[in-house]
Structure 1
Amino acid sequence: MSETDMRKTDVSDVDLADPVLSEGAEPSAADFETEPATASAEDVAELPGSASPEPAYATVRQPIRHDSAIKHVTGAAIYIDDIREPAGTLHLAPGWCPTYAKAKLGSVDLSEVKAAPGVVAVLTKDDVPGINDVSSAMGDDPMLADGEILFWGQVVFCVVATSRDAARRAARLARFEATPETPLITVEDALTADSHVLPEYRFGRGDVDKTLLNTQRRLSGSIAIGGQEHFYLEGQIAMAVPGEDGDMLVYSSTQHPSEVQHTVAKVLGLMEASVVVETRRMGGGFGGKESQANQWAALAALAAHVTGKPCKMRLDRDDDMIMTGKRHDEVATFDVGYDADGRILAVDLAFDSRCGYSADLSLGVNDRTMFHADNAYFYPVVDIVSRRLKTNTYSNTAFRGFGGPQGVIAAERIIDTIAITLGRDPLEVRKRNFYGPGRDVTPYGQTVEDNVLQDLVGKLETSCDYARRRQAVRTFNTRSRILKKGLALTPIKFGISFTLIHLNQAGALVHLYTDGSIHLNHGGTEMGQGLFLKVAQVVAEEFGVSVDQVKITATNTAKVPNTAPTAASSGSDLNGMAALIACREIKGRLVPFLAGEYGVQEDQIAFRDGKVIIGNEAVPLKEVAKKAYLNRIQLSSAGYYKTPKIHWNRDKAEGRPFYYYAYGAACSEVTIDTMTGEMRVDRVDILHDCGKSLNPAIDIGQIEGGFVQGMGWLTTEELVHDAQGRLRTHAPSTYKIPTCSDVPEDFRVELYESPEGNREESIFRSKAVGEPPLMLPASVFSAIVDALASIRPGMVPPLDAPATPEAIMKAVHAMRRGGA
């Protein structure tokens, strides 16, 4: 199957393959340009906020290549470790006690550390002029250990040396005196000790206990859901450069520059206005750099403050994996009542979540687990509770999906359990429980107004030939004793917005220069996902120019202040709208001026093809900008946007936390070897709802990447701790992310376009795409369950996530023993 066939899109016949270079030719920028696709009549729609239809779009909705694609593949993209270091730059390495996960600190002998070659300073909590805390909000996350060790890998001191090698060697020379205590490592440890990092939280409706007692069919079960290491290509890194009057410039690989600014100011005892944080790009983030970049940036800034010299902190990969948080691992337990057709009547669902030693972002993450514990299914009577447990492990944090994937897996396990118990096709049971008319209110009280589940799933069911393949799988399993196949089609309904309502805001700064070029800056950060390009497409479309006339600049807290993190799949929605508003403010000054200058009506002025159409004249944008400047028309604007309609009262568990939902579905076919536990994904079909995609090429890439990352979480990526709380899987040799050979050879992706009336006025009617695809590989996990279920029909396979070969073999043995 060709690459084009495997990456289908509803944009008309656009070849997304790389251009072919002639033998021996050197690639130039022109070789990598993508020809703009011609928009069809159906692409003509109203712009958000417009009163009349616009002509076909030239830039948005086109599959334009990532703005840094050439730089990525040629090594020219500048990451923090590529920035030319100022003369005299010093390097940092964290010092920690490799013996204990929990202990009272006595003395720490740093004499050999300080005497080591190249060492300039050794930082401890006593060197902090401000507050020794790098938490997002709770004040419970010390930058440097203060009298106790709370997890294996906690930073106790930091070495500042003339080279990174010297700093790392010196950091190993410390001698610790400590009194060990018994650490809490697992969910079970924390439950036994009644150890909570945050109070439990619950919401629901109806009398669950009474309904369950009165249902004729009832089942219960549980699933352990593993955590996940972010494994970004670029590890945690920051460089701090001191300025005059105590000012500090910090280059940080962070998804939240404003929070790093706040944290550095807090640690150094400075005004936030004295700290500037800049982020041009990250080599991946996935949530691991939303809050946990704080510590490393603050340490670099503290070192720069103490030494008066530029200082860089770059974590070694092992240290990064040991010291930073992961996706929350959880145990979901459920009690469900249902009818003879598999329709759910009541759900009692509990999540026990290992949060680690501090709260970090666990409140929001675990709330979102609860928000997505229904996935695409209506629960008439429901009670959902989340217990947020404190353990002596790294502090778990944001990860792509932000808790939603754990809720989705629990929902899909419930559906699979019902289907296997009844002997029904799981897809049939899924469709019976979909949200629909009269069954459209979530457990948290939001009405599902934009539901496309039936249509989207129906289209995928037909296009992937589900019915025929279901029968083929049954036939194969009847004839094959060792190899077993599984097939599953699972949906996703994912809410788009930060559930912490005040984060749903963004700013953008747009300058139009007199040569017609445009400077763009906004609060979003680029981590490879194509956000900068999408926002540039919005700006280019508004001014009617090509994207190469829009200069994308690094995110900088001195340009756009008080920004939200680039997270919750909201980067394009928020920053795109803020940039759009800034553009329209500039055009709102230009249009009346031009109407007066040229004696035309304002509605006779349009921006397209690099020119401004004024009546019957086509004037280059640069001439218009120059004329406006000479007439003292402001050509700069700071746009601001806040998401409308949303509100959420957490105490009362009521409101509308999400602006809209993104939908999708995936059908996965797998083969497992019951002699070894090995598993292969044979084919994947995806249909995903991006609304009117801002950039189909970027969105398809996000869907493919998100799917593979989620597949890794559910099948190969296993975090293992020993009884002392030490993470044993802290390197690529022991922690297995998916490789190229794990990607399904038959991988088909199509974009679904939801009906116009089913979309809110998001940026150019597009929908978020960053996180929802990560939950589509629930279909892979359910397909493995389906394959295992064929061993003993009617028995639910006791499979936890991730479904590693060992986990599959354990389930195989249990199935063959009949659960004994």
Structure 2
Amino acid sequence: MNSKTEAFLTPESVKAWAEVGLSHPHESAILHVLGEATYTDDIPEAQGTLHAALGLSAKAHARITALNLAPVLAAPGVVAAYTWRDIPGTNDCGPIIHDDPILAEEKVEYVGQPIFIVVADSHDNARRAARKAEVQYEELPAILTPEAARDAQSFVVPPMRLARGDAQQALEASPHRVKGKLHVGGQEQFYLEGQISYAIPKEGDGMLVLCSTQHPTEMQHVVAHALHRPSHAIVVECRRMGGGFGGKESQSALWAACAAISAAKLKRPVKLRADRDDDMMVTGKRHCFYYEYEIGHDADGRITAAKVEMVSRAGFSADLSAPVATRAICHFDNTYYLSDVDIRAMAGKTNTQSNTAFRGFGGPQGAIAIEYIVDEIARNLGKDALDVRKINFYGRNDEEGRNVTQYGQKVVDNVIHELVAQLEHDSAYRTRRAAIDEFNARSAVLKKGLALTPVKFGIAFNVTHFNQAGALVHIYTDGSVLVNHGGTEMGQGINTKVCQVVAHELGIPLHRVRISATDTSKVANTSATAASTGADLNGKAAQDAAHTLRQRLANFAAAQFGCELAEVQFADGVVYGGPGAVMSFAGLVQKAYLARIQLWSDGFYATPGLSWDPKTMSGNPFGYFAYGASVSEVIVDTLTGEWKLLEANALYDAGNSLNPAIDIGQVEGAFIQGMGWLTTEELWWNAGGKLMTHAPSTYKIPAISDCPRNLEVKLFKNRNSFDSIHRSKAVGEPPLLLPFSVFLAIRDAVSAVGGHRHNPPLRAPATCESILDAIDAVRAAAD
């Protein structure tokens, strides 16, 4: 050890050293840029690999009266074709309720439902052959919209209701009322890497499934049940995904099961890679919602009563629609205290793709409704919407009576007052509002709009037992470290953050830590990487394992140095035991190995203090809340409905950020993705129930030209009051709610057409057509 290093290792410098809280690049960033990052389809194919494709239903709701696969089997390169009758075990891939067949049996329930698997010598041959099947149908009536499902009382799960106080009585006593309807569309996950699974038979009825999935353990369960084999015979591995956004939480199961069934039958490796059109036709999306609401408020705009009915388009099976509805109910309040509420949610069974998880998981659909309503209240009263928002905020943490949510959880970490005040000041909101009013007064065709919207988002799975995670940490004799945990990397940076946590705990540079692929044979019984809990859960589990190793090494070092245990410190790859007592981390590890000290450990974490009663819709479902706010300024062409986001400012509460660069990137990405959901990404089914927006040519995600010249994202300085990993906060889902300000800024611009005297009935997504319809309605009301 050189004198320079010894001089550096003062007690003060050791205490100040850190690997968390720094803006390290994504651990695979260089591999991404060079094209060397290995995704499932990049894995070299084993000898004898075959390729599968799915034969899909052409009808939305029908009985299959005849199925002739002879033309499929006669097609070039085809090896086999399988129907539900060929499945050795259970024909089901539903994550909660067993109502989702891997392959349709006697009946199909949406256009695009898989009926059979065809296996061929190439991907193209399999896809071509799948189109040759001769299927005869007896068509049945189809339900396609949430409203139709509600009218027919067609639901995938029983309707839910959360009530507090007496909403009807409070409504009748309210000085003012607002009543209306709102349509908010769904959204395609549009991950860059489509659904893919590669199943490789192993000895003794084993099966290795390489799968692009957010939930390897669920894939393990589905494949085991489909093959009628125990879970220990199935290994699911995922090194990384090219995006997931919830679309690979439960819906990767169908693809994993079909690949594994084919591989088990043929005893050969089988890859099933979805073409983009097939992927969009088969898989579920974000749930679209239809709302009917009635709200009471006083002359200042303070909400005194709230009644709302939410109906989602669940699709043909339950999938995750029940927890999505639950989360929508729990996020209807957003940042506002609601004293008397009656919230009802229904998951409408429709003959469309079975909708599923999507970033936010019902939270955005719940919160958008109250923001739309507050916007309406403000316009009715002739007030700035920001002022109405402020008076409805939850009370400050020391303010009793206005700090309990509608489901009974006390809000103890509220920073929305301070956060919004900072953003209002930094964004010059009031000055810009005055300038926009002046612009609109002299501009007949182009109208500008401005909105500032807040966010409060609960962090945890509503299902309490999912809030657990495990990890393994191995220290090798050269001092390098390998980590494995149950989370999955989909580009969000979970592996980078977990590496930082382990490096920090062991006091070694980040480059000395590496993460291996998520693997069900290493960490068992994992939860999905979802609900914004990935870094929270797996970071804590990895920290637990690393802490155990640090304690072992510290005890050994104290004996080596002849010092007190409290004097042993780890920093920057060096172990320090006081003046003159210095050793490299690698040197200590080598000595520990020779002394037969265990150099690997497991770790585990379960989020404390959580509870949820689905019957009463009450409890403490969230460990803490993440907060944020954004300001958006738009300009709308009232003749064409075209619009442009001119500028956006966002302030997000990431707590003590583990990695500010990654967190800011997540906020930026979520903002644009959420903006797409609310403005351009329109899903459209024709009268026959076929999804017509099933390719990039017909489905419009935001492009670089849709981004504002100035998208300013800052992190709010705030230490998490909850004992999260290094007091950080989740950053996966909550920022997707920030672009509510874009949608409401568009509504503000449309409102300017009528001098802000009428509420535009703007539906989401706010496409040009939707904007023109709202403009026409405002003009008609003004005449």
Same fold (TM over 0.5): yes
1:714 corresponding residue in structure 2: 678
2:237 is aligned with 1:274: no
- CA-to-partner distance for each residue in 1:272-308, whole Å, 9 max, x for gaps? 0000000000000000000000010111111110000
How far is 1:235 from its partner? 0.1
Which of 606, 625, 635 is the aligned partner of 2:589? 625
How far is 1:747 from its partner? 1.0
2:245 is aligned with 1:286: yes
Distance 2:332 2:467 in 1: 23
Which segments of structure 1 move beyond 6 Å, counting only runs of 4 or more? none
Distance 1:179 1:399 in 2: 34
2:394 corresponding residue in structure 1: 435
Q: Runs of 5+ in structure 2 lacking a partner? A: 1-11
Question: Match of 1:431, SS?
Answer: helix
2:105 corresponding residue in structure 1: 146
When the two chains are superposed, the root-mean-square deviation of aligned CA atoms in Å is 1.1
Which of 32, 50, 63 is the aligned partner of 1:72? 32
Letter in structure 1 aligned against 2:701: I
Which of 762, 766, 771 is the aligned partner of 1:803? 766
Distance 2:460 2:586 in 1: 38
2:426 corresponding residue in structure 1: 463
Letter in structure 2 aligned against 1:180: E
Preserved CA contact (<8 Å) 2:506 2:547: no
2:625 is aligned with 1:665: no
Preserved CA contact (<8 Å) 1:422 1:794: no
Distance 1:485 1:97 in 2: 46
What is the percentage of aligned positions where both structures have the same residue?
53
How far is 1:56 from its partner? 2.3
Question: Match of 2:102, SS?
Answer: coil
Distance 1:341 1:163 in 2: 67
How far is 1:647 from its partner? 1.0
Distance 2:655 2:18 in 1: 18
Which of 38, 43, 60 is the aligned partner of 1:83? 43
How far is 1:345 from its partner? 0.3
Preserved CA contact (<8 Å) 1:372 1:407: yes
- CA-to-partner distance for each residue in 1:21-68, whole Å, 9 max, x for gaps? xxxxxxxxxxxxxxxxxxxxxxx9xxxxxxxx9822431100000111
1:222 corresponding residue in structure 2: 181
Distance 1:778 1:231 in 2: 20
2:661 corresponding residue in structure 1: 697
How far is 1:161 from its partner? 0.5
Distance 1:637 1:335 in 2: 56
Preserved CA contact (<8 Å) 2:14 2:571: no
1:403-552 paired onto structure 2 within 5 Å: 403-436=362-395, 437=399, 438-552=401-515
Distance 1:819 1:263 in 2: 58
How far is 1:584 from its partner? 0.7
2:173 is aligned with 1:210: no
Preserved CA contact (<8 Å) 2:57 2:110: no
1:575 corresponding residue in structure 2: 538
Preserved CA contact (<8 Å) 1:144 1:156: yes
Distance 1:498 1:613 in 2: 41
Question: Match of 2:715, SS?
Answer: strand
2:742 is aligned with 1:769: no
How far is 1:768 from its partner? 0.3
Preserved CA contact (<8 Å) 2:17 2:571: no
Letter in structure 2 aligned against 1:658: F
Distance 2:172 2:542 in 1: 55
1:29-44 paired onto structure 2 within 5 Å: none
Question: Match of 1:420, SS?
Answer: helix
Which of 725, 738, 742 is the aligned partner of 1:780? 742
Letter in structure 1 aligned against 2:424: E
How far is 1:622 from its partner? 1.3
Distance 1:57 1:355 in 2: 50
Preserved CA contact (<8 Å) 2:14 2:570: no
1:608 corresponding residue in structure 2: 571
2:62 is aligned with 1:62: no
1:273-352 paired onto structure 2 within 5 Å: 273-352=232-311
Distance 1:475 1:55 in 2: 55
Which of 690, 704, 717 is the aligned partner of 1:740? 704
2:154 is aligned with 1:190: no
- CA-to-partner distance for each residue in 1:591-633, whole Å, 9 max, x for gaps? 2222223211001111111111123322111111111111111
- CA-to-partner distance for each residue in 1:477-506, whole Å, 9 max, x for gaps? 111100000000000000000001000000
Distance 2:57 2:111 in 1: 7
The alignment of Structure 1 onto Structure 2 pairs a total of residues equal to: 766
1:9 corresponding residue in structure 2: none
Preserved CA contact (<8 Å) 2:473 2:600: yes
2:612 is aligned with 1:655: no
2:6 corresponding residue in structure 1: none
Preserved CA contact (<8 Å) 2:72 2:132: yes
2:651 corresponding residue in structure 1: 687
Letter in structure 1 aligned against 2:593: Y
Question: Match of 2:360, SS?
Answer: coil
- CA-to-partner distance for each residue in 1:286-338, whole Å, 9 max, x for gaps? 00000000010111111110000000000000000010000000111110100
- CA-to-partner distance for each residue in 1:209-251, whole Å, 9 max, x for gaps? 1111111211101110100000000000010100111100000
- CA-to-partner distance for each residue in 1:637-690, whole Å, 9 max, x for gaps? 110000011111111222110000000000000000000000100000111000
2:3 corresponding residue in structure 1: none
How far is 1:204 from its partner? 2.3
- CA-to-partner distance for each residue in 1:450-481, whole Å, 9 max, x for gaps? 00011000000000001100101111111110
Distance 1:365 1:697 in 2: 30
Distance 1:519 1:735 in 2: 42
Letter in structure 2 aligned against 1:749: V
Which of 340, 344, 353 is the aligned partner of 1:385? 344
Letter in structure 2 aligned against 1:60: V
Letter in structure 2 aligned against 1:726: K
Distance 1:141 1:409 in 2: 30
Distance 2:666 2:588 in 1: 38
2:356 corresponding residue in structure 1: 397
2:4 corresponding residue in structure 1: none
- Select between 184-193 and 589-598 the one with higher mean Cα deviation: 589-598
2:722 is aligned with 1:760: yes
2:314 corresponding residue in structure 1: 355
How far is 1:435 from its partner? 0.3
